[in-house]
Structure 1
Amino acid sequence: MLVCGRRKWRTIIIFLVIISALCIFPLYSGILHEESTDSYIAKQNEVFVDVPSITSPDIGRHFNPKLLAGLMADIKSNKSNNVINHQKVLMKQDVDRDVVNYNVHAFYYAWYGNPGQDGEYFHWNHEYLPHWEKKISDKYPTGQAHIPPDDIGSSYYPLLGPYSSSDETVTRSHMIQMQQAGIGVLALSWYPPGLADDHGKPIEHYIPTLFDIADQYNIKVCFHIEPYKDRSPESVKENLKYIIETYGDHPAFYRTSTSEGSRKLPLVYVYDSYLIPANQWSKILKKRAEISIRGSIFDAVVIGLLVEKKHIWELSSAGFDGFYTYFAAEKFSYGSTRRYWREIESFAIENKMIFIPSIGPGYDDTSVRPWNNINSRKRNDGAYYETGWHKATTLSTVNIVSITSFNEWHEGTQIEPASPQSRHGKSVYLTYEPHDPDYYLKLTKKWSMKMLNATRDVT
C-alpha cells in the first residue's frame, strides 16, 4: 500500500509539473514579447484616477493633471522615450466607458504655436490691443507683445504650458479631456485654406489629423466660420462646398437631424454674421434663391450670431436656420443676457428656428485688452458657469448648448485645465484654486450628463 501510494503520488506530481510548464511557458513567452502590457495598464490607471467629484459623486474617473504636466515637461526637454511612453498611456483608453453628449458643443481654437513645433510662438505672444479712444489707450501698455513662455496673452496659464495646436500629443490630450467632460462636438474656429487671423498661421494642413484623433475618442467636429477678409455669401457657399467635399465622409464629421426629413446635414456656426446684410445672406440661404444651397448636396444647418436684439429678425429674414449667442460675459450683449433667453426661445419657436445658447465659466481678457475690465466676469468657484448651465437647460425647447470655450485663453473663457504660475516672478496668473485644474471639466461632465439623462427621460 505504501509503495503503491508513493508511485501514485510521484505520477501525480510529474503530471502536475508537466501541466504547469505547458501553462506557464506561453505566459512567460508573452511577458518576454509584450513586457509592457502590465506597465501599460498601470500607467493607464495613473492617467485617470478614481476620486470623488467636488460637485457630483457620480462623475468618477478624472484626468490626472500631474501626469499631463510630466508629459509636457518631457516634450520640452526632448526626452523622446518618455514622450513615447506617455503617448501610449494617452492612447490606451476605454472609449466606450465615457459617454459623450452630441448636444454639447465646445468652441475650440487650434491657432496656438510654439518654437518647438512651429519655429516660433503665435497667439501666446499676443500684443496688448489699443482702445478706440486714444485718451484711454494712452493709460495702458498697448502695442507691446507678451513674451512667452512665462508671459503669455492670457490671465490664466494652461496646465500644458504654451503649447502648439499642431502637436498631436496636445490634440490627443484635448480629446481625452473633452471626452471625460462629456463634450460630444468640437466647434473648430476655421478660416479657408491659406488664411488665418491676424495673430496666427493657417491650420488647414493639420485639420485631417485633428479629425482622426477626435474620432478615436468619439468626438465629432463641426466648423465655426470666422469673418475672414472679403467674406461674402458666395464665398461662404464655396466654403461649405469645400468643407463637405473634404471632410464630409470622415466619421468624425458632425451632422444633425433636421425637421424636414430623415436626412442629416452638417451644422456650421457663422461668427459675426451680422457684418453681411440679411438680403445678401438670403441669396444662398433662402430656398428659392438663385444660388441657394437649400436642397443641394451642400446644404447645411447654418447658425448665425445673435448679438443685438434686431439680429433675431435679420437672421430669420436672411434664411438662417438658427442663432447662437457665443459671448461668455453676461449682459455684454442682448444675446448673452440670460434673462432674455426665454424671449429669444419664444421667437425661435414661432419662426421654426434653432436657438443655441452659449455659456461660459467666466470672462477676463485684460491680458490683451487691459482697458476692458468692465466686462470681466468672475468665475465665483464655478457658480457663474453652473448658473449658465441651469438657465440654458431649463429652456423647454433648447436641444443644443454651446460652451464658450474649451480653450480661448485670451478671453479667459477656457474650461481647459489651468495651472498656478507667476509672470516673471511679479504678478500671478489667475487659477481655479482651491479646486483642481480640471474642475471645469468636472462641472461640464456633471451638466452634460444631466442634460443627456433629461433627454432620455423625455424620449
Structure 2
Amino acid sequence: MLLKKYVKTRRKVKILLLVTIVALIVITCIILLGSSGPNGSTIERLLDERFIARAYQPQSEQLQQPKEQAVALLQPHRENGVIVPEKYDEHKIKARIMQNRLQQVKQQQRDNEAEQSRTTVDALTTAVHIFYTAPVPWYKSKKPPLPQPEHPNEVALPLTTPKPVKILNTAFYPALGLYKPSAKLLGQHFENIRNCGIGVIILSFVRPSDPALLHQILELAPQHNLSVTFELSVAGNRTLDFVRQQLQEIAAYVDLPGFYHVYSQSRAALLPVLYVSNAYKLSESLGRQLCRPTAQELAEQLNVPKNVGGLRRVLDALFIGHIRLKSHADVLRRLCFDGFYSKLPSNGAVFASTWKNWSYLKSYALSYKMLFVPTVGPGFAERNKFPRHGDIQRHRSNGRYYGVAWRTAILNHVGFINIASYNNWPDGSQIEEVVPRAGFLDYNPGSRTKYLDLTAHWVGNFLKTRQEAASAAAGAVLNCYELLNNTIC
C-alpha cells in the first residue's frame, strides 16, 4: 500500500530504479575493494599459487621450504596496492651468469667422461651397412634476390648477371668442423664405425669420381676390419651404355681386398653387393639386362666380347635396388634385381620408408627369393626451402625416433639393415658428433657422441636377436637370408 501511495507517476518509478542501481554499485565496489587488500586473498587464488610453487620448484627444495614461504615468493611486492617492478640488481645478474657458466663447465666435464666411457660393440657384423659421404658437399649455391625497383610500377632489371652465393647446407654443425677427407680423418671415422659394430660402408659412386680417394678408402677400411661397397645412381634417362660404363669402372675395384662380398649358395661363388639408387626409374629394356643368362645363352656368348650382351657379363653382383612405392617391388622383381631397400629414413613419407609396411615388404621379398634391406635413420632435416621429397622432415625426439626404426627392423627378422648415413650432413641424417652452435641444431640433452652410442646399442641388440634365433632353430633348416656366416641364397 505504501508503494502504491508514493509511486503513482512514471517519474517517481524512474527515480526509485536509479536509486536502487546506485546502491548496488556502491555495495559491489565495497566488496571488491575489501577483497583486494593484502589479507583478502581468496582460498582459490591461494591454492593456485601453491600449485605453481610446487610445479616450478625442485622436489628437494619442496621438502625443506615451508608452503607458506613458497607462496610468499610468488606474491609481487606492493606499495599502497600497486605492484612495484623488480629493480635491476647488477650483482644478482653477474652471480646468475657465473652460475650458468659453472653449469656449462660441469656439463662439458660430464660429456668428456661420457666420451671416455662410450658404448662399443666388440663383435663386427657385415649384416649392418652404413652410408658414408666423401667428400661432404658442405655448401650449396643460391641465387641472390633481384634488386627492388624504385617505383612500384617499374620492373627492376639487373645491370649484370648476379653471381650465385654459397651458403652452408647443413642443419647441424660437425664437431670436427667443415672437414675434407684425409688419411687421419678417415681413420677416425672408420674407428667410430667399427666401435659401433658396423662392418660395411656404402660409398656413393657418382661419375666423374675421384679414383685416388676411392683407392685410399678401400686401403684404409680393411685396417679397421671394415668392407666397402658402392651405391650407383641410375636415373630413368640413363642409357644402357652409361650403366655399362659405370659397371666397367666399378669392376676395377671389386677384386680389391676391402670390397664387400657375400657367398651365394645358388651361384656357389662370392659375389659383390651393389646398391642402385633410383632403380625404380629404369626402363624395361634397360632393366632386363640384369637378368642372369641361361645355359644356352652362356654357350652362345662364349666368343662374344663382354661389352655386348647383358650387364651381368660385365659384372656379376648382388644388385639391390632403391624403391619408394608398393608397386616398385614388383617392378624390380621383373627387372631381375636381387633385392630392394628403402633408403629414405623418413617414416610415412613413402610406402617403402613407412615402418608398418616393412612386414609386407619382407614377406614379398621371401616369396620371390629376394632380399629386403630396411633403412633406419635418426631423423631427417633436409635444409631446403622446397625439399626434394616434400615436407618430410622428421624430428629426432631425443633418440626415440631412431629406436623405433631399429626395433621395427629387428622384429621383422630381416637379414640386412642399412643406416641412413654416418655423415650425410645436408640431409641431416648423420650420426657423427656435433657441437652446439648458434643457428644450428644439436643432440641436447646428451653428449655429442649420443647417436654413435645409440647405434652401438641397437647393433648389439640386432646381433643378440640373430644369435638367439639361430640357437632356437638348432637342427632345423634356416632361412638362407638370415644366416650368420655371410651367406645368402
TM-score when normalising by structure 1 = 0.66
Q: Distance in 1 between matches of 2:403 and 2:271?
A: 31
Count of aligned pairs: 330
Aligned to 1:266, which of 272, 275, 280? 272
Aligned to 2:406: 389
Deviation (angstroms), 1:339: 1.0
Aligned to 1:106: 130
> Is the Cα–Cα contact under 8 Å of residues 236 and 282 in structure 2 kept in the other structure?
no
Shift in alpha-carbon separation, 1:158–1:303, aligned structure 2, 3 A = same
Report the secondary structure of 1:375's partner residue: coil
Q: AA paired with 1:210?
A: I
Deviation (angstroms), 1:176: 0.9
Q: Distance in 2 between matches of 1:445 and 1:185?
A: 14
Q: Distance in 1 between matches of 2:388 and 2:203?
A: 28
Aligned to 2:372: 355
Q: AA paired with 1:342?
A: S
> Is the Cα–Cα contact under 8 Å of residues 328 and 404 in structure 1 kept in the other structure?
yes
Does residue 257 of structure 2 align to residue 257 of structure 1? Answer: no
After TM superposition, list the pairs within 5 Å mapping 1:117-196 onto structure 2: 123-127=137-141, 145-147=165-167, 152-164=168-180, 166-192=181-207, 195=208
Does residue 213 of structure 2 align to residue 203 of structure 1? Answer: no
> Is the Cα–Cα contact under 8 Å of residues 235 and 278 in structure 2 kept in the other structure?
no
In structure 1, runs of 5+ residues without a counterpart are 1-47, 54-59, 64-96, 113-122, 131-142, 196-201, 423-427
Q: Distance in 1 between matches of 2:197 and 2:190?
A: 11
Q: Deviations over 1:98-133 (max 9, x none)?
A: 322111111111133xxxxxxxxxx21213599xxx
Q: AA paired with 2:278?
A: D
> Is the Cα–Cα contact under 8 Å of residues 326 and 404 in structure 1 kept in the other structure?
yes
Q: AA paired with 1:376?
A: Q
Deviation (angstroms), 1:261: 4.3
> Is the Cα–Cα contact under 8 Å of residues 129 and 369 in structure 1 kept in the other structure?
no
> Is the Cα–Cα contact under 8 Å of residues 286 and 318 in structure 1 kept in the other structure?
no
Please report the RMSD computed on the Cα atoms of aligned residues, expressed in angstroms.
2.8
Q: Deviations over 1:21-50 (max 9, x none)?
A: xxxxxxxxxxxxxxxxxxxxxxxxxxx988
Does residue 437 of structure 2 align to residue 421 of structure 1? Answer: yes
Q: Distance in 2 between matches of 1:324 and 1:372?
A: 17
Aligned to 2:449: 438
Deviation (angstroms), 1:51: 4.6
Q: Distance in 2 between matches of 1:445 and 1:129?
A: 42
Report the secondary structure of 1:205's partner residue: helix
Q: Deviations over 1:377-399 (max 9, x none)?
A: 00001000010001111113x11
Report the secondary structure of 1:384's partner residue: helix
Aligned to 2:359, which of 325, 342, 359? 342
Q: Distance in 2 between matches of 1:291 and 1:174?
A: 40
Aligned to 1:410: 426
Q: AA paired with 2:431?
A: I
Q: AA paired with 1:400?
A: F
Does residue 314 of structure 2 align to residue 304 of structure 1? Answer: no
In structure 2, runs of 5+ residues without a counterpart are 1-110, 145-162, 298-307, 471-489
Shift in alpha-carbon separation, 1:233–1:453, aligned structure 2, 3 A = farther
Deviation (angstroms), 1:328: 0.9
Deviation (angstroms), 1:297: 7.4
Deviates more, 1:256-265 or 1:439-448: 256-265
Does residue 292 of structure 2 align to residue 292 of structure 1? Answer: no
TM-score when normalising by structure 2 = 0.62
Shift in alpha-carbon separation, 1:129–1:282, aligned structure 2, 3 A = farther
Q: Deviations over 1:241-294 (max 9, x none)?
A: 3323x2223221100122414312000001011222134211233434782344
Aligned to 1:379: 396
Deviation (angstroms), 1:168: 1.6
